[in-house]
Amino acid sequence: MFILLLSSIKTVGNNKNLTVSVIIPAYNEEKTVANVVKVVKSLNYIEEVIVVDDGSTDQTAQLALEAGATVINHIKNRGKGAAIKTGFKSSKGEIVVFIDADLHNLNKNQINNIIKPIMSGEADITKTKFKREAGRVTELTAKPLLNFFFPEIKFDQPLSGQFAAKRSFLNKIKLEDDYGVDVGIVLDADVMGMKVKEVDIGKIDHVLSSLNELNIVANEVVRTIVDRATAYGRITMIDSLGQYIRMEILGLSLASLGIFAIFFIRFVSLTIGLVISSIGVAIAIFYIVKIIRISYNVFSRSEGSLRNLKTFLKMHSPIIVSGLILLAMITTLVGSVHVDDGKISIEPNSRNLIIFNNPTSNQTVDVRGPYTVDSAVENEYSSIRMPTEALATLELNYGDSIYINNQKYVLNQTLPGEDNIMRVPYNARNAMGLNVGDVISDGDIRNRFNNFYSEKALPLSGNTRDVNLTEGVVIKNNMDSGRAVDIFLNNVLVSSTSGIIHNGTYTVYINGNKYKTINFNESSTNSTYYVQVGSNIFKIEIGGTTISDMEFANSSTGKFLNFIY
């Protein structure tokens, strides 16, 4: 069979001394291995020979050792490719050569002819062709498959076992563990665009293989060619069903692209969008008919087993996903249809992805809105029903209040099934410039409520069950520098808030009545104020700087803090 020999070759007359590793595995080749080793060692530039004994049961290893080779042993037979990989990992040369071990009449000129084209720069890989009696696997199996999948490969003997290649190339490819290693190297080299030269080394004799052995070789060669054809896209480029599936996906994608362009890409005209969609729909309909027909034929000729079903789903899953994308887009658009005085309008609105730079409550990402404006529920003149996500964007809670044109509106929950509906009374809509049916994106909601005064509840912890606390803030649509405010009871922190605060006066209330006016100066690093609420004495500390999009209400705007008991 084969030997692995490792040799260092010092080239003479070149600018660089190149080393060469000759790798050849051997399995039960006691009749030929010693002669092959001696021929290799007869070359005056050979420094080392390594024979990989691939689990031989005869005297292969001993005879190779006596012939002057260093022997690496596999405990059991692992295959030609596995032995080659073992030798390759043990080698050091910049050029690696593979020589069969079952050669009867090998001579040193043949080895030189394999190596020289790479050393001279003519090729990156050399493979051999030679006159021989046998070649059944090549002619009946390898060549027909290669001509079908890789028609550009025109070698006379693609399976010859004698190779040489640059180590830099071999490091980039997968070496097969069996007889597919030879053709695998050829196919990888072809696809990677390497320079491959077929070298004629004259007459050479192999040990003839039995029919059973040839069957094993043929199976492994076929598997390698088909695997490479699959990996390099040669199968999917020629099969009918694969072509139909690709064209169907193209049609669905064009239809989706056209619809998307009509509604979301401003510089694409309506006509162009309709043309793209129409072409996509036509292609999709044409090829879905073909796919249904060929799929029916496949299933009607089989037993319809679970395995066939899994294969069917795997093949057709790209179509299913593309179809679902198109269906989702169409249903979204249908859900955005508005009919007004005989005019049909389609006004799609995308949801808003929120990414928090400073996450609160471990929340970093959320999807919110859009919100559709509707009229208030009957007799609800002083309340606004608002979705939870909109409240979160405004940093308010249910029960808080917003003042619009000096009228107080309490924030309430939405009605069942109206998760994205914002019900706003008539007077508030007029003041905000809103109409029934308007759609507000989550990114725009703070603009709509910008500069509105709000009273929001502050949670109190500890022994404060008989006291409630609200703060007055003005909603802003941009972040600005502010201050943290901490509230203590008996020197225990019971609540914290923050907001933008400017020089001026801020009024503290008890039960809605003025209690104390605070004169705040931004130059102060820490200001402390005391408020007696019943038997409780609260301490208010205006502390360090922070960033906020809420502005504390000053004395002319509203109630800075309001203690209720």
Residues in the chain: 565
Kindly state whether residue 189 falls inside one of the protein's structural domains.
yes
Amino acid at the residue 384: I
Q: Do 220 and 298 fall within a single domain?
A: no
Please report the pLDDT score of residue 207 as a whole number.
63
Amino acid at the residue 169: F
Kindly state whether residue 5 falls inside one of the protein's structural domains.
no
CA angle 132, 135, 138 (to 5 degrees): 140
Distance CA 487, CA 561 (A): 11
Distance CA 240, CA 248 (A): 12
- For helices 108-119 and 33-41, give the axis angle rounded to 10 degrees: 60
Please report the pLDDT score of residue 132 as a whole number.
59
Distance CA 272, CA 262 (A): 8
Please report the pLDDT score of residue 494 as a whole number.
93
Amino acid at the residue 500: I
**Between the CA of residue 113 and those of 44, 58, 109, 140, 156, what are the distances in Å?**
15, 31, 6, 28, 17
Helices (H), 433-549: 445-448
Kindly state whether residue 345 falls inside one of the protein's structural domains.
no
Please report the pLDDT score of residue 340 as a whole number.
61
User: Which of the 8 DSSP states describes residue 415?
Assistant: P
Kindly state whether residue 383 falls inside one of the protein's structural domains.
yes
Please report the pLDDT score of residue 415 as a whole number.
94
Distance CA 100, CA 4 (A): 8
Residue that is last in its domain, among 448, 467, 488? 448
Sign of torsion over alpha carbons 31, 103, 224, 184: positive
Distance CA 14, CA 435 (A): 86
Kindly state whether residue 133 falls inside one of the protein's structural domains.
yes
Q: Do 98 and 187 fall within a single domain?
A: yes
Distance CA 85, CA 357 (A): 52
Choose among 67, 9, 56: nearest CA to 29.
56
Q: Is the pTM of this model over 0.85?
A: no
Total number of domains in the chain = 4
Sheet holding 50-54, edge to edge: 25-26, 50-54, 70-74
Distance CA 394, CA 98 (A): 73
DSSP-assigned letters across all residues of 189-238: HHHTT--EEEEEEEE--PPPPPHHHHHHHHHHHHHHHHHHHHHTTTTTTT
Kindly state whether residue 1 falls inside one of the protein's structural domains.
no
Choose among 65, 53, 3: nearest CA to 207.
3
Paired with 316 in beta bridges are: none
Q: Do 97 and 217 fall within a single domain?
A: yes
Q: Do 457 and 443 fall within a single domain?
A: no
Q: Do 187 and 222 fall within a single domain?
A: yes
Q: Do 55 and 183 fall within a single domain?
A: yes
Matching residue, tokens 């301490």? 539
Kindly state whether residue 346 falls inside one of the protein's structural domains.
no
Distance CA 84, CA 397 (A): 72
Q: Do 292 and 418 fall within a single domain?
A: no
Residue that is last in its domain, among 339, 361, 394? 339
Contact 273, 259 (CB under 8 A): yes
Q: Do 116 and 206 fall within a single domain?
A: yes
Choose among 224, 232, 143, 226: nearest CA to 185.
224
Distance CA 513, CA 555 (A): 13
Please report the pLDDT score of residue 134 as a whole number.
46
Please report the pLDDT score of residue 202 as a whole number.
83
Please report the pLDDT score of residue 452 as a whole number.
97
Amino acid at the residue 398: Y
Q: Which residues of the chain have pLDDT under 50?
A: 1-16, 134, 304
Residue 400 sits in a domain whose CATH number is: 2.40.40.20
Kindly state whether residue 14 falls inside one of the protein's structural domains.
no
Q: Residue 360: exposed, middle, or buried by beta-carbon count in 10 A (0-12, 13-18, 19+)?
A: exposed
Helix (H) or strand (E) holding 393: helix 388-394
Please report the pLDDT score of residue 13 as a whole number.
39
Q: Do 169 and 300 fall within a single domain?
A: no
Please report the pLDDT score of residue 179 as a whole number.
80
Question: Around 26, how many Cα atoms within 13 Å sit in the side-chain half-sphere?
Answer: 36
Q: Do 439 and 459 fall within a single domain?
A: no
Which residues form the domain of 396? 352-448
| Residue 246 phi, psi (nearest 5) | -65, -40
Q: What pLDDT, in 10s, does the model give residues 525-546?
A: 668 899 998 888 999 999 888 9
Q: Do 80 and 210 fall within a single domain?
A: yes
Q: Do 330 and 371 fall within a single domain?
A: no
- For helices 306-334 and 240-264, give the axis angle rounded to 10 degrees: 20
Residue that is last in its domain, among 402, 433, 448? 448
Question: Around 71, how many Cα atoms within 13 Å sit in the side-chain half-sphere?
Answer: 23
Please report the pLDDT score of residue 138 as a whole number.
67
